[in-house]
């Protein structure tokens, strides 16, 4: 494992790696510390519990995804075109970072889902949530809770990237279009 510049980051990266490989049961604090190349006590210095570590790693993972997905997003595109570009950027980022995709998928299917989503929704600086609030996008979205919008729009990108399914550019375009149609009013 490439060592991140600080130990707390190494611990978060190790958790993602172990959870992606073995699920949460295979990611004890001692196993995480071993994977990170630090003492177990050092891991606990940064994170008082596995729960705290999971939420920190989730927040970091979602933040990295949000930055990658919105980097270079052209605000002059239509709402549908911006969604399409954002969806493809999410998929490509997660395809290039499979541990992130698999970690997010594991969180979605665990007891951490509720607290992780609550912490993500509380992050007022989340670039993906900011896109939902852009007036032309907000006007087109169906009146679903944010969790439902996520499940119908971006969650398929996570699942496809985590599954390692090979798709053509045309297929990805069709899937992104289908996800937009699932959450938007005709425009």
| Strand partners for 141 | 184
CA separation for the pair 74, 72 (Å, rounded): 6
pLDDT at 121: 85
173 pLDDT above the threshold of 80: yes
Mean pLDDT in residue range 120-131: 88
Q: Which CATH number fits domain 1-48: 3.40.1350.10, 1.10.10.60, 3.60.110.10, 1.10.510.10?
A: 1.10.10.60
Tell me if residue 45 falls in helix, strand or coil: helix
Confidence of residue 5 (pLDDT cuts 50, 70, 90): low
Query: Which pair of structure tokens corresponds to residue 111?
Result: 């007891």
Name the more confident of 13 and 122.
Answer: 13
For the stretch 52-82, pLDDT in tens is 999 999 999 999 999 999 999 999 999 999 9
Q: Give the lowest-confidence range in 9-13, 28-32, 120-124, 170-174.
A: 120-124
120 pLDDT above the threshold of 90: no
56-59 — which CB contacts under 8 Å span 24+ positions? 56/8, 56/12, 57/12, 57/15, 57/16, 57/103, 58/103, 58/104, 58/107, 58/112, 58/116, 58/119, 58/120, 59/119, 59/120, 59/123
CA separation for the pair 101, 158 (Å, rounded): 5
pLDDT at 187: 78
CA separation for the pair 126, 108 (Å, rounded): 18
pLDDT at 47: 95
CA separation for the pair 130, 96 (Å, rounded): 24
pLDDT cut 70: percent of the chain above it: 97
121-124 — which CB contacts under 8 Å span 24+ positions? 121/146, 123/59, 123/62, 123/63
pLDDT at 2: 43
Query: Which pair of structure tokens corresponds to residue 37?
Result: 């190349």
Mean pLDDT in residue range 161-183: 96
Average pLDDT over the chain, rounded to whole? Answer: 93
């Amino acid at each position: 494992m490439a060592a991140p510049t600080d130990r707390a980051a190494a611990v978060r990266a190790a958790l993602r790696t172990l959870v992606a490989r073995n699920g949460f049961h295979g990611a004890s604090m001692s196993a995480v510390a071993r994977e990170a190349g630090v003492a177990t006590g050092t891991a606990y210095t940064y994170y008082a519990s596995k729960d705290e570590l999971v939420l920190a790693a989730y927040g970091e993972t979602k933040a990295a995804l949000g930055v990658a997905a919105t980097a270079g997003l052209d605000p002059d595109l239509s709402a549908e075109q911006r969604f399409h570009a954002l969806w493809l950027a999410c998929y490509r980022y997660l395809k290039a970072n499979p541990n992130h995709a698999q970690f997010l998928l594991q969180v979605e299917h665990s007891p951490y889902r509720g607290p992780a989503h609550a912490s993500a929704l509380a992050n007022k600086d989340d670039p993906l949530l900011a896109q939902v609030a852009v007036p032309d996008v907000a006007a087109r979205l169906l009146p679903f809770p944010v969790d439902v919008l996520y499940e119908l729009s971006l969650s398929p990108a996570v699942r496809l990237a985590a599954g390692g399914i090979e798709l053509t550019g045309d297929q990805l375009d069709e899937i992104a279009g289908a996800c937009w149609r699932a959450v938007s009013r005709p425009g």
